[in-house]
Amino acid sequence: MYRILEKKVLNPTVISITVDAPHAARHAKAGQFIILRVDEDGERVPFTIAAADPEKGTVTIIYQVVGATTRKLMELEEGDELADFAGPLGKPSEIEGENVVVIGGGVGCAIALPTAKAFHDAGKNVTTIVGFRNKDLVILEDEFRDVSDTYYLMSDDGTAGEKGLVTAKLEELIKSGQKIDKVIAIGPLVMMKSVCLLTRKYDIPTVVSMNPIMIDGTGMCGGCRLVVDGKMQFACVDGPDFDGHKVDFDAAISRNRAYMDKERHNYEETCNLLNKKEEA
Amino acid sequence: MPNMRMDKNPMPTQPAEERIHNVDEVAQGYTAEMAIDEAKRCLSCKHKPCISGCPVNIHIPEFIAKVAEGNFEEAYEIISLTSSLPAICGRVCPQESQCESKCVRGIKGEPVAIGRLERFVADYMREKGEAPLKAPQRNGHKAAVIGAGPAGLTAAGDLAKLGYEVTVFEALHTPGGVLMYGIPEFRLPKAIVQHEIQKLRDLGVEIVTNYVVGRSGTIEELMNDGYEAIFVGSGAGLPNFMNMEGEELKGVYSANEFLTRFNLMKAYKEGSATPIQHPTKTVVVGGGNVAMDAARCARRLGSEVHIVYRRSLEELPARKEEVEHAMEEGIIFDLLNNPVKVHGDENGNVNAVECIQMELGEPDESGRRRPIAKEGSNFMIDADCMIMAIGTSPNPLIRSTTEGLETNRKGCLIVNEDEMTTKDGVFAGGDAVTGAATVISAMGAGKKAAAAMDRYIQKNR
């Protein structure tokens, strides 16, 4: 069992938990992920490592409540235990390029943060662009400022930072002549896709962190397969980072919808159950 | 006087029309009377050819003699001398090509039902509630096992019996490997697998789950942690695809994914947290045991199921019994066909599998007749699900993170006659060495490696 040592509510649906998981903490690097099960009947769900402390043996993940499992996870408090917590999984991000732009969208910022930090710690020039729908959803602002040479906050409605999409800010930087060796985009598939469409136009190498459906996360099932450069790749072992200009995003977006009906059903069931428990 | 009846006592089985609606075990096992009667068919030959057909060399005539006397406890003790997992082997071993293929009674009739008797004895003892095994005296040495599948569990059991402090490192959340995620509940109930694993824990074997060697830690680190010898039984879990157009569509599964969802995650259960597609028409590609398992699972989810195999009935690599069970359950065999393309609808879901007819040419290096596509014979099978069961390869994670571990061109670890890899102190066995093979050959390799590891540690002490 894996004890939750710390829980922080970052915004109404985004939560950070730090878990006692020494094996996973020992080698965890930016870009890698873990797979957890909340309880004995739970499903296996991947979460990117937001931070890890090998000394203390802890791993921090940041998650958004989007379905039944994350809803159940939200119920857990400090001192509660998770049934399973395996990792680190996947390949670490490659920390190459002197002038990089790290782009985070929504809860994807939790994944973008350790990547930005890794580049920062390696002495690179880091520009971060993070985007949220509105000011209530903004997370990790101070943490990003700490690891960025320049930090841009964008919101869809202009209630936080500048109004507009992350791609608008990126294009502005490109047009202003800022030197950019590499762009790293982490967030919803549609956001990563539009970043890639933009950077392809300007021929800027772009890395994306893919988030397909996973079961084992160790390469034994191919549930997470993607089409990259016309070839099949398993995100859990060959990635999750890929050359964004080679990823077939439309296939990835379609595959991520495979169980939508069942997921919605499970979410409603779980919410009903938890609400009833609260009433009783 | 031995019972000279020519045929085996038949196995009571759940009727096909009932069992396709549940996941309960198909073969229901002998009663004590059936077992005693069958055991009496054994001639107790002096030269015991059956033993040579068993990869772990169970003392077959001796245990069967005890069954014939009705002394099931002593029969169990005899089996346990060489086998750690009899309830599993008795169920999933292909006895027809192993112990039973050597049985003298098989020359003029059916061989003695050795597997069914082994299963009966193990089940009898479990149901009776055998006393937990006592952990043996420790010898002060440490050994590690990577992977809690049949090879690793056998090696761990044997090493523990020799007094070693054994730790098994398993990547998934439950030990058992293919016994848990691959072979379905209706062939091998998961409660039985966990019972057998508990017996290993009783022997003092520690099992660390959620530990991915190559990521959570390396072989090098395990050696630094004081493990004097390491057994790699990481299997061949990397699924093969055909690299044809449309394999990325929704509804296309590797057999590993489909079976993992079904067996390990119990996705067939109402209200399961892990989803699985409930298809209406499924195409399973392949002809091995994994294809039969996947097809029969899909059938239990309510689907019509077609097995598409590129050779003919004669070359089907699956066990005959599994093919028969699949046929009884209404699975349709579309033989001498091969898929060439998967077609999908506007939402990215599979809606048809395009196949081509095949004919058999001359035998290839495997001795089987080579299938050759018939130009222009393409046709479509409408389907909303496709399961690829065309084999697996060893996962590259361990070899790519361990210096000095050499593999052949198929990615299988190279070992010497002592099951030692090219890295000193690191042994390997099972599918990680042979590529996908059988449960019992993995157990045999685990057994051989445990003995070699014992010799290695004792020599270096």
Interchain pair B173, A23: CB under 8 A: no
> Hey, CA dihedral for B225, B231, B237, B238, is it positive or negative?
positive
**Which residues of A sit within 8 Å Cβ distance of B?**
23-24, 26-27, 32, 37, 41-44, 68-69, 83-89, 215-216, 218-223, 225-227, 231-232, 237, 248, 251, 254-255, 257-259, 262-263, 266, 269
Look up residue B209 and give its amino acid.
Answer: T
Q: What is residue B455's predicted lDDT score, i.e. its pLDDT?
A: 96
The number of helix segments (H) and strand segments (E) in chain A equals 9, 16
Q: Do A232 and B243 touch (CB under 8 A)?
A: yes
If phi > 0 it is left, if psi is from -120 to 50 it is alpha, else beta; for residue A98 that is alpha
The C-alpha atoms of residue B166 and residue B169 are separated, in whole angstroms, by: 10
Contact B273 A42 (CB under 8 A): yes
Backbone φ and ψ for B162, nearest 5 degrees, come out as -85, -5
Q: Which of B217, B250, B397 has the CB atom closest to A255's CB atom? A: B250
Joined tokens for residue B378 = 């393409």
Please list the alpha-helical segments (H only) found in B302-409.
320-328, 397-401
Q: Residue B419: how many CB atoms within 10 A of its CB?
A: 25
What integer pLDDT is reported at residue B337 of this predicted model?
97
CA separation for the pair B184, B276 (Å, rounded): 15
Angle among Cα B79, B83, B86 to the nearest 5 degrees reads: 75
Choose among B247, B265, B273: nearest Cβ to A232: B247
CB contact under 8 A, A257 and B250: yes
> What residues form DSSP beta bridges with A62?
A16
For chain B, what is the radius of gyration of the CA atoms? Answer: 23
Query: Could you tell me if A61 and B251 are in contact, meaning their C-beta atoms sit under 8 angstroms apart?
Result: no
Question: Which residue matches tokens 């479990």?
Answer: B126
Return the closest-CA partner of residue A137 out of A183, A115, A104, A169: A104
Residue B62 C-beta-side C-alpha neighbours within 13 Å: 14
State phi, psi for B445 to the nearest 5 degrees: -65, -40
What sections of chain A are H helices per DSSP? 22-26, 68-75, 109-121, 141-147, 166-175, 189-202, 235-238, 249-255, 260-279
Cβ contact, residue pair B217, A221, below 8 Å: no
> A82: which chain B residues are within 8 Å (Cβ-Cβ)?
none
Q: Taking the alpha carbons of B225, B226, B227, B228 in that order, is the dihedral positive or negative?
A: positive
Which residue from B216, B251, B397 is facing A237, i.e. has the nearest CB? Answer: B397
Decide if B435 contacts B412 (C-beta within 8 A): yes
- Which chain B residue's Cα is nearest to A25? B216
Beta bridge pairs of residue B143:
B166, B229
What is the complex's ipTM, to 2 decimals? 0.94
Measured on CA atoms in the order B415, B419, B421, B427, is the torsion positive or negative?
positive
Please tell me whether residue A228 adopts helix, strand or coil conformation: strand
Comparing C-alpha atoms, which of A133, A105, A99, A103 is closest to residue A115? Answer: A103
DSSP secondary structure code for residue A68 in this structure: H
The answer to whether residues A90 and A236 touch, using CB atoms and an 8 Å cutoff, is: yes
Tell me whether the omega of the peptide bond preceding residue A88 falls within 30 degrees of 0, making it cis.
yes
Helices within B333-419 (DSSP H only): 397-401
Provide the pLDDT for residue A113: 94
Interchain contact B131–A (C-beta under 8 A): no
**Which ranges in B337-430 belong to alpha helices (H)?**
397-401
Cβ-defined contact of A223 to B257 (cutoff 8 Å): yes
SS (H, E, C) B156-191: HHHHHHCCCEEEEECCCCCCCCHHHHCCCCCCCCHH
Low-confidence ranges of chain A (pLDDT < 70): 280
- What is the structure's pLDDT at A270? 87
Compute mean pLDDT per 10 residues along chain B, 461 residues long, and list them.
89 96 96 97 94 93 97 94 89 91 94 97 91 84 97 95 96 97 96 92 95 95 96 94 95 97 95 94 97 98 97 91 95 97 96 96 84 95 97 89 91 94 96 91 93 94 68
Q: How many CB pairs under 8 A join A and B?
A: 119
Chain B's closest residue to A90, CA to CA, is: B215
Answer whether A251 sits within 8 Å of B348, measured CB to CB. Answer: yes
Q: What integer pLDDT is reported at residue A88 of this predicted model?
A: 97
Residue B56 has a pLDDT of: 87
Beta bridge partners of A58: A20, A53
Tokens of B280: 């209406």
Mutate to test the interface with B, among A47, A216, A231, A266 (most CBs of B within 10 A): A216
Cis bond upstream, residue B150 (ω within 30): no
* Per-residue pLDDT at A195: 97
In the block, residue with structure tokens 């039969």: B292
pTM to 2 decimal places: 0.95
At CA B174, angle to CA B168 and CA B180, rounded to 5?
110
Query: Which pLDDT does position A276 carry in this prediction?
Result: 84
Nearest chain A residue to B393 by CA: give it: A220
